[in-house]
């Protein structure tokens, strides 16, 4: 059919031009939500092209056909309007937008969250300036920047903000939802295929809004369970002297004034819902660290708002001069060179 051929052509063009493997776009969806949105968008594009072509064709026709020829000083017929025509070109667009509205309603319904089931994966996402925190309350896991989910399972997410308004957006998995202080928002998705997907904060939130990215790893149920098991382990104990020195530094006030290390009890155990006072979201956000949980730092492949690859070189540079890597971020520590050696020695054991 002509329609799908045209849109396939469009997609193909985009694919080839962008080396699409990396592009976080809903037109290569990995969930039913994004697929529904992409399908609807395709219809919109086709309709828009039709309207656009109609308008521009009429415009071009006018320009070509009714150009005043040289030497022609005559006056055209003075037409003031045509009631029937005007009614038609008011009614037809009304009809068209009516159709679009009906499509909107049905798609809103189609992508709305299913009723929560016991089987779902529950996730709490907290937006901080300028990193994303992921809390699996039923599993007792607290991590950051890199999100692991199993394919084919419904993920129900509650969104909180620790400070200003952010927006959680992973295009290939779902539309964006704002993360608003004082308000609990909800998001859901069910990832279809395995793979790594990119997301970013989509509401301007200050200096490092651009550096508040998300890496989503969709894995098989088995791999996910292995990841969970690892995340649930306590942090590695330091073995060598250098590691012990690093451990002391981490827990002695330099790091743990902002970062957390160690067991994170499941939400049910440690944080009974506080009654909603003015402005409280019902969750004791103050109990969270200002910085990401470090317990399994090295199990992640990205850090610093998922803007840098997590390896020893980058970690070293971060500890030396994090402001040059992410200017204006809230980490204002200046460990000495030998302290950095010790910290690296210990941190790299936190797999």
Partner 1 sequence: MATHAQTPAGTIPKRRSLADTRLGRWLTTVDHKRIGILYILTSFSFFLIGGVFALLMRLQLAQPNGQVLSNSTYNEIFTMHGTTMIFLVVMPLSAGLGNFLVPLMIGARDMAYPKLNALSYWLFLSGGLFLYSSFFFGGAPDAGWFSYAPLTERAFSRGPGMDFWALAILILGLATTLGSINFIVTTVQLRAPGLTFRRLPVFVWMVCITAFLAVFSLPSLTTASLMLLLDRTVQTHFFVVAEGGNALLWQHLFWFFGHPEVYILILPAFGIVSEIVPVFSSKPLFGYTAVVLSGMAIGVLGFTVWAHHMFATGMPAIALLFFSADSFLIGVPTGVKIFAWLGTMYGGKLRFKTPMLFAIGEIALFTIGGLDGIHMAVVPVDWQVTDSYYVVSHIHYVLFGGAIFGLFAGLYYWFPKFTGRMLDERLGKWHFWTMFIGMNLVFFPMHILGVLGMPRRIYTYGSGLGWDIWNLLETVGAFIIAVAVAIFIVNFYLSMRKPADAPDDPWDAFTLEWKTASPPPDYNFAEIPSVRSGRPLWDEKHPELADWKQAEA
Partner 2 sequence: MSVTASSSQPERKELSAKVTLAMVLASESVFFGMLVMSYLYLRNGQAGWPYLQHSLSRLIVPGLNSLVLVLSAWVVRRAQVAIQGGSTGGLNRNLWVAWLLGLLFIAGQVFEFQRSGMYPSDPAFGGVFFALMGFHALHVLAGMLVLALIGLRAWLGDFDSQDHIAVDGGSWFWYYVTAVWLVLFAVLYLV
Residues 174-203 that bind partner 2 (CB under 8 A): 182
Q: What angle do CA 246, 248, 253 make, to 5 degrees?
A: 110
Backbone phi, then psi, for 335, in 5-degree steps? Answer: -70, 150
Contacted by 276, from partner 2, partner 1, none: CB < 5 to 8 Å by type: partner 2
Residue 51 Cα to chain centre, angstroms: 33
Four-CA torsion 338, 342, 343, 348, nearest 10 degrees: 140
Among 277, 313, 321, 337, binds partner 2 (CB under 8 A): 277
If you search the block for the tokens 């394919």, which residue do you land on? 151
Shortest Cβ 273–partner 2 spacing (Å): 14
Nearest to 23 by CA among 33, 35, 11: 11
E strands present in 162-240: 166-169, 177-179, 185-190, 195-201, 213-219
**According to the binding rule CB under 8 A, does residue 276 interact with partner 2?**
yes
Nearer to partner 2, 192 or 284 (CB): 284
For residues 308 and 282, give the distance between their C-alpha atoms in angstroms, rounded to a whole number.
33
Positive or negative, the CA dihedral 207, 210, 211, 217 is: positive
Smaller CB separation from partner 1, 104 or 193: 104
User: What's the min distance (Å) between Cβ of 203 and partner 1?
Assistant: 6
Identify which range of 221-229, 260-268, 275-283, 309-317 contacts partner 2 by CB under 8 A: 275-283
The residue among 57 and 229 lying less far from partner 1, judged by its C-beta, is 57
279-298 footprint of partner 2 as x/- string (CB under 8 A): x-------------------
User: How far is CA 60 from each of CA 47, 57, 63, 65, rounded to the nearest angstrom?
Assistant: 20, 5, 5, 8
Q: Whole-number minimum distance, CB 182 to partner 2, in Å?
A: 8
Q: Which CB, 198 or 316, lies closer to partner 1?
A: 198
Among partner 2, partner 1, none, the one that 132 touches (CB under a kind-dependent 5 to 8 A) is: none
Q: How many residues bind partner 2 (CB under 8 A)?
A: 5
Binding partner selected for residue 56 from partner 2, partner 1, none, CB under the kind-specific 5 to 8 Å limit? partner 1
* 273 interacts with partner 2 by CB under 8 A: no
Under rule CB under 8 A, residue 274 binds partner 2: no
Q: How far is the CB of 28 from partner 1 (least distance, A)?
A: 10
Whole-number Å distance between alpha carbons of 160 and 187: 11
Per-position DSSP letters for 323-349, written without gaps between them: HHHSTT-S------HHHHHHHHHHHTT
Smallest gap from residue 29 Cβ to partner 1 (A): 10
- When asked if residue 278 is in the footprint of partner 2 (CB under 8 A), the reply is yes
Strands 154-161 and 121-128: parallel
Residues near partner 2, by CB under 8 A: 182, 276-279
């Amino acid at each position: 059919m002509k329609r799908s051929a045209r849109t396939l052509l469009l997609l193909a063009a985009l694919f080839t031009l962008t080396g699409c493997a990396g592009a976080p776009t809903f037109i290569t969806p990995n969930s039913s939500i994004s697929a529904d949105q992409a399908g609807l968008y395709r219809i919109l594009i086709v309709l828009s092209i039709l309207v656009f072509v109609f308008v521009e064709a009429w415009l071009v026709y006018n320009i070509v056909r009714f150009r005043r020829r040289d030497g022609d000083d005559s006056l055209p017929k003075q037409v003031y309007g045509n009631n029937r025509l005007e009614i038609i070109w008011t009614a037809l667009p009304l009809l068209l937008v009516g159709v679009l509205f009906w499509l909107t309603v049905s798609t809103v319904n189609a992508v709305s969250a299913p009723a929560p089931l016991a089987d779902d994966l529950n996730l709490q996402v907290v937006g901080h300036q300028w990193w994303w925190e992921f809390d699996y309350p039923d599993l007792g896991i607290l991590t950051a920047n890199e999100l692991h989910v199993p394919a084919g399972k419904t993920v129900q997410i509650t969104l909180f903000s620790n400070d200003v308004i952010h927006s959680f957006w992973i295009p290939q998995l779902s539309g964006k939802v704002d993360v608003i202080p004082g308000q609990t928002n909800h998001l859901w998705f069910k990832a279809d295929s395995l793979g790594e997907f990119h997301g970013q904060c989509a509401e301007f939130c200050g200096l490092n809004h651009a550096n508040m990215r998300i890496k989503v790893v969709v894995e098989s149920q088995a791999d996910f369970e292995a990841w969970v098991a690892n995340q649930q382990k306590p942090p590695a104990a330091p073995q060598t002297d250098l590691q012990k020195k690093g451990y002391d530094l981490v827990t002695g006030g330099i790091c743990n004034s902002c970062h957390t290390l160690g067991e994170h009890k499941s939400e049910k155990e440690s944080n009974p819902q506080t009654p909603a006072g003015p402005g409280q979201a019902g969750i004791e956000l103050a109990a969270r660290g200002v910085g990401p949980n470090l317990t399994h730092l090295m199990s992640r492949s990205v850090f610093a708002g998922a803007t840098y690859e997590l390896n020893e070189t980058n970690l070293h540079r971060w500890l030396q001069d994090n402001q040059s890597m992410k200017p204006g971020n809230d980490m204002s520590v200046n460990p000495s060179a030998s302290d950095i050696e010790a910290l690296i020695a210990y941190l790299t054991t936190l797999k």
